[in-house]
Structure 1
């Protein structure tokens, strides 16, 4: 925290202390009832903070998930509330969530997802470069042992590990072009192989 954050925190604690002191002084004749009401409001406040903090987890469990129809070679991805499409793939046996990016040419893993897939990002040579909306980033080419989506398995797949900070691994056209058809209809991305 910066000095400004500490100053704001101290100010808010002092202000809250003054308000609580004033509350007790004004309501000393009905103190038991007021303490019960204060506790109830405190629990409501804490519950609201917990719900806000856990909203992403709650939203992920409430959202419809991708559906893989293996016999048809068909995958349906629902559009997420942020407007993007996400796909879960197993990379070298590790489940990794990708944001589908038709504007990206390749599959790009975050450093954290590369570690989950058994790749040590600190030992990679970051000599290639990718252009992003935020400018150029250094990447390291890797060959993935296995990329699996249900019964669909690709081996020896070329991907990249991003050297910088990236919130989400990207699934670009190098993987998507392996499907015969890609269409977006009624809030769903449908991939057919």
Structure 2
């Protein structure tokens, strides 16, 4: 902690001490009841702080996930809170999260996802260019040895590695066209082969 943070901590500790002292002096006749009320409010406060701190984990647990119906040759992707559909694919043995982007012509990997999939991004030639909503970005063409979504496995899939910053890899039309049916209905994206 720096001096500023220590000073703020001391100030808050003195303020809390003064408030507690005032509370006990003011309510000395019914101190037992007041302590119970204070304890209840303290637990409510701690519960709220814990819920806020754990909200990301809670949301991951209760939000719907992709469903694989192998016997029917179907995968269902639920619409997420941000309005996008996400799919988790196995790229060269690495689990990779993609945003399904029907506006993207190809499969585009972030540098981090490309490295996790075993591609050496230092040796890539970023000579191609892609147009995005944010303008042109440089990309490097690559070929993925193995791409698996549920029971469906493809080999030698052409993709691109983005030279710029990108939060999530994109699953574009060159991959989506491998499915015989793509349907969006009732908050679900259905892919069938």
Interval containing the TM-score (normalised by the shorter chain): 0.7 to 0.9
What TM-score does the superposition give when structure 2 sets the normalisation length? 0.81
Task: Measure, in 2, the Cα distance between the counterparts of 1:128 and 1:82.
Answer: 30
Equivalent of 2:20, from 24, 27, 33? 24
Structure 1: gaps of 5 or more residues:
1-5
2:168 corresponds in structure 1 to: 168
2:87 corresponds in structure 1 to: 87
1:106 corresponds in structure 2 to: 106
Shift in alpha-carbon separation, 1:35–1:169, aligned structure 2, 3 A:
farther
What SS is found at the alignment partner of 1:21? helix
The alpha carbon displacement at 1:49 in A equals 3.7
The alpha carbon displacement at 1:153 in A equals 0.8
Q: Contact conserved, 2:98 with 2:170, CA < 8 A, in 1?
A: yes
Between structure 1 and structure 2, the one with the greater Rg is: 2
What SS is found at the alignment partner of 2:119? coil
Matches within 5 A, 1:1-193: 13=9, 16-29=12-25, 44-193=44-193
What TM-score does the superposition give when structure 1 sets the normalisation length? 0.81
The alpha carbon displacement at 1:15 in A equals 5.8
The alpha carbon displacement at 1:20 in A equals 1.1
Aligned-pair RMSD on alpha carbons? 2.8
Q: Contact conserved, 2:75 with 2:150, CA < 8 A, in 1?
A: no
Task: Measure, in 2, the Cα distance between the counterparts of 1:145 and 1:36.
Answer: 64
Bigger mean CA offset, 151-160 vs 37-46: 37-46
Aligned length: 187
